[in-house]
């Protein structure tokens, strides 16, 4: 192709993108059509339908995309497996009720099925309309009423599920509502990943990679999907319906202005829910989320628990099929019984497993009206029965029964209440487990005596230690009297300065309001756990989303830390500090109410194998700068100097726009006057982030926070934890490894290989560099960082990309 022809083609494509024709209506009837770059726009301007070329692609497709969003993410493709080769194409409605796409030779490329029922036969008033919910709906008489629907795009999803769409099966209409990923960002044809329902004893949704299952939602138990215990949000209404005619999952948004899409993401190999907020698509929810979400990770009769080490365990009464494999952390072979069943009524029993994701139940047997007691007897009478559980938990009441006569697969234990599963074991195993449980509840007398003796010995040693310590303190009279008194005086001076100012207008929340907002501290609302206690997501009566931090009675911190955090944060106002909205004090209850951070904490991004790739260098650089600004405010610009003492990734929260906000001031200290250093004998914080002088000698200052910040910077750019990362062959931890690479001039090798997007390596290596503008030279991130180009090659994804619209000429 000559340069002239290439230039002409580029100009034509640019002209088509910036000056395409738009139809004046959202409807096509028997007398109209669209062709080339003409489009339909829904009445409210939410969605647009027309022909498009994906980014990097060469073929033409008919699709629906968001009209008002610059990235124009495509949510539906009509002819995904039948692209147009000869353009321009045309879309029209035929007299027999079919939508057809024809190429420039008038050959049919794609058509919708013709109406099959008498009530949906096409009249002269038939029309197809693009609606504001994204549905492209063919009405037999043009009325748009539900009974007149002859065909709709919602019945034929591609890779995206929009609010109001169904994912499942309609047995009466013989429709399968599945979502299948794009083959690539430039090719919308059917890809490897498909999410669909499998009917059986209890319905369940599965994510396939080709023929292989990689994730399962857990069986539906009438109340929800047992593998998705957090399927709850103030802005969304989720439901699963299972009747004799249809079984499906769908969702709706409570705020009509909120744009959301649920996507089978082929590039990430997972399911993702996106929400459009403040000019960006935020990944609101995704699965698989963690290793325990991997299908059948622990094999038959094994279960996964993210709080355990190792993650996989055998069910009580079972042992690893191959101990060697389990030692190597390969539990896929599963477990086998330690004691065989007798298959005689009195010879076997059951052991309850609590808080469980139900085993895969597509091959289980369901008895809708059977009580659990009757279910137990039926299971005992059948030698092939492995376990039983309630089939329906709607309304919190057990109804019906499900019995497994197959190996138990894909089990997981959660920290909160989900459901109980009763595992069939030999009665001797049940007796042994009961005796062990009783022993744990009732320690023997000898054990009590040993404990008392041990405590007495410890107290005696403690007394001796105190004497030695007192003698040692006398030798260090200057340090013991001067430094602590100075620091205590500085702390009092800072507190007096705070107390002398006017009280902050900090609302006090009534406990009833907190209980209503958290559904009485429901497990479904719980989003975190720390030394302070539990953190809950809640929605107040005015619709505002907040995070509620509840002081635990067994908290590692206490009321003093609670008062400290209230006193500190109430006086601090900065863009990079989390904002305190109020508190609740009611009897023994102590709670703090914060602004809600939609993207959780920084550690959930940089240490997550799936999310790490979502943070480009610019995102990470902006997060580092934001944290630095927050620290500078605490150290230099606030009313008094604040030393945080626990700077780490989990204490940096991210809002909708990924702006970092420093949180958790429970162990922070205030400095008064010109105080710069303090000494403490109570070392509090997180190892791996503590400066050496603080961890060893109890001396802390602004430098302590700066040291922690440096560790955090390394974690952000590498995607690796300081604690737990180790280079065996070099005998180095992360800090030593970073220093070694820096001395060798290979600092750029520290960059996280999972990081997408362009970067300029001179920015990464220079302490004085600033971020380049988008059109400045940079470097494309790849696993081979030695090949450095002089151009930017941004890595794109289907979740938010531009595409070229077709030239009508």
Active-site annotation holder among 646, 705, 760, 807: 646
User: What is the spatial distance between Cα 800 and Cα 805, in angstroms, rounded to a whole number?
Assistant: 16
User: What is the spatial distance between Cα 213 and Cα 362, in angstroms, rounded to a whole number?
Assistant: 13
Which H, E and C letters describe 510-576, residue by residue? Answer: CHHHHHHHCCCCCHHHEEEECCCEEEEEEECCCCCEEEEEEECCCCCCCHHHHHHHHHHHHCCCCCC
Say what angle helices 702-718 and 734-743 make with each other, to 10 degrees: 80
646 is catalytic: yes
For the chain, state the CA radius of gyration.
31
User: What is the spatial distance between Cα 566 and Cα 233, in angstroms, rounded to a whole number?
Assistant: 28
Report the b/e string of 55-69 with b at 16+ CB within 10 A: eebebbbbbbbbbee
307 Cβ contact list (under 8 Å, min separation 6): 415
Query: How far from chain centre, in Å, is Cα 84?
Result: 37
Give bridge partners of residue 356 from the DSSP assignment. Answer: 413
Q: Length of the chain in residues, anyone?
A: 809
Nearest in space to 67 (alpha carbons), one of 29, 20, 35, 9: 20
Nearest in space to 261 (alpha carbons), one of 275, 247, 248: 275
Q: Is 549 annotated as a binding residue?
A: yes
User: Read out DSSP for 713-776?
Assistant: HHHHHH---TTT-EEGGGTEEHHHHHHHHHHTT-GGGGS-TT--SEE-HHHHH-TT--PPPTTS
Location of structure tokens 């005696």: 460
Say what angle helices 702-718 and 617-632 make with each other, to 10 degrees: 170
Greatest pairwise CA separation for the chain in angstroms:
103
User: What is the spatial distance between Cα 452 and Cα 217, in angstroms, rounded to a whole number?
Assistant: 49
Under a CB-based contact definition with an 8 Å cutoff, are residues 644 and 635 in contact? no
- Give SS3 for 296: coil
Nearest in space to 753 (alpha carbons), one of 697, 792, 795: 795
Cis peptide before 800 (omega within 30 of 0): no
342 Cβ contact list (under 8 Å, min separation 6): 348, 426, 427
Binding residues for ATP: 549
Binding residues: 549
Catalytic sites, residue numbers: 646
């Amino acid at each position: 192709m000559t340069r002239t022809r290439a230039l002409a083609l580029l100009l034509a494509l640019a002209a088509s993108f910036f000056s395409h024709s738009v139809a004046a209506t959202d409807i096509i009837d028997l007398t109209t059509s669209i062709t080339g770059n003409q489009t339909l726009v829904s009445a409210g301007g939410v969605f647009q339908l027309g022909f498009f070329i994906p980014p990097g692609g060469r073929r033409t497709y008919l699709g629906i995309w968001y009209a008002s969003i610059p990235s124009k993410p495509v949510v539906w493709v009509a002819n995904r497996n039948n692209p147009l080769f000869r353009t321009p194409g045309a879309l029209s409605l035929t007299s027999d009720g079919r939508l057809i796409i024809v190429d420039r030779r008038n050959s049919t490329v794609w058509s919708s099925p013709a109406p099959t029922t008498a009530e949906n036969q096409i009249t002269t008033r038939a029309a197809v309309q693009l609606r504001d919910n994204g549905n492209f709906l063919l009405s037999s008489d043009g009325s748009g009423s539900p009974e007149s629907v002859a065909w709709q795009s919602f019945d034929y999803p591609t890779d995206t599920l929009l609010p109001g769409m169904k994912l499942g099966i309609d047995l009466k209409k013989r429709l399968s509502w599945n979502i299948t990923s794009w083959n690539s960002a430039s090719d919308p044809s059917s890809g490897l990943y498909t999410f669909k329902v499998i009917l059986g004893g209890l319905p369940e949704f599965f994510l396939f990679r080709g023929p292989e299952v990689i994730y399962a939602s857990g069986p539906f138990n009438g109340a929800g999907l047992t593998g998705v215990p957090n399927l709850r949000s103030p802005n969304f209404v989720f439901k699963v319906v299972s009747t004799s005619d249809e079984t499906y999952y769908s969702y709706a948004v409570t705020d009509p202005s909120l744009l959301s899409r649920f996507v089978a993401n082929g590039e990430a190999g997972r399911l993702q829910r996106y929400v459009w907020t403040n000019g960006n698509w935020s990944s609101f929810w995704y699965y698989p989320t963690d290793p325990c979400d991997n299908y059948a990770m622990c094999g038959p009769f094994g279960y996964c628990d993210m709080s355990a080490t190792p993650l996989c365990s055998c069910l009580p009464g079972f042992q690893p099929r191959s101990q060697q494999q389990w030692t190597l952390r390969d539990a896929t072979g599963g477990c086998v019984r330690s004691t065989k069943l007798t298959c005689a009524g009195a010879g076997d029993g059951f052991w309850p497993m609590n808080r469980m994701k139900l085993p895969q139940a597509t091959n289980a047997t369901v008895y809708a009206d059977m009580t659990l007691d009757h279910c137990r007897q039926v299971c005992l009478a059948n030698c092939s029965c492995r376990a039983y559980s309630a089939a329906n938990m709607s309304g919190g009441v057990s109804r019906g029964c499900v019995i497994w006569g197959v190996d138990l697969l894909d089990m997981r234990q959660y920290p909160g209440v989900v459901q109980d599963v009763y595992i069939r074991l030999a009665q001797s195993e049940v007796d042994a487990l009961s005796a062990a449980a009783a022993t744990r509840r009732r320690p023997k007398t000898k054990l009590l005596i040993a404990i008392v003796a041990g405590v007495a010995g410890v107290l005696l040693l403690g007394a001796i230690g105190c004497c030695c310590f007192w003698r040692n303190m006398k030798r260090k009279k200057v340090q013991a009297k001067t430094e602590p008194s100075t620091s205590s005086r500085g702390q009092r001076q800072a507190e007096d300065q705070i107390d002398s100012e006017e009280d902050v207008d900090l609302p006090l929340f009534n406990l009833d309001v907190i209980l209503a907002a958290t559904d009485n501290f429901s497990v479904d609302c719980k989003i975190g756990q720390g030394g302070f206690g539990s953190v809950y997501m809640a929605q107040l009566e005015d619709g505002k989303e907040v995070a509620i931090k509840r002081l635990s009675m067994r908290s590692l911190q206490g009321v003093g830390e609670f008062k400290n955090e209230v006193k500190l944060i109430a006086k601090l106002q900065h863009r990079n500090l989390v904002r305190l909205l109020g508190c609740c004090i009611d009897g023994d209850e102590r709670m703090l109410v914060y602004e809600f951070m939609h993207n959780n904490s920084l550690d959930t991004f940089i240490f997550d194998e799936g999310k790490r790739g979502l943070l480009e260098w610019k995102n990470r650089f902006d997060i580092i700068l934001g944290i630095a600004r927050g620290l500078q405010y605490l150290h230099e610009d606030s009313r008094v100097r604040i030393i945080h003492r626990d700077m780490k990734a989990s204490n940096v929260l991210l809002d909708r726009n990924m702006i970092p906000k420093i949180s958790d001031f429970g162990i922070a200290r205030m400095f008064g006057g010109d105080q710069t250093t303090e000494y403490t004998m109570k070392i509090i914080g997180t190892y791996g982030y503590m400066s050496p002088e603080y961890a060893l000698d109890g001396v802390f200052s602004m430098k302590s926070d700066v040291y922690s910040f440096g560790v955090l910077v390394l974690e952000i750019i590498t995607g690796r934890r300081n604690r737990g990362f180790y280079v065996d062959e070099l005998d180095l931890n992360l800090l030593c490894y970073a220093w070694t690479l820096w001395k060798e001039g290979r600092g750029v090798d520290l960059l996280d290989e999972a990081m997408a997007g362009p970067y300029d390596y001179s920015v990464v290596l220079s302490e004085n560099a600033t971020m380049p503008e988008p059109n400045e030279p940079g470097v494309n991130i790849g696993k081979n960082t030695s090949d450095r180009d002089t151009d930017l090659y941004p890595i794109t994804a289907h979740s938010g990309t531009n595409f070229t619209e077709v030239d009508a000429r």
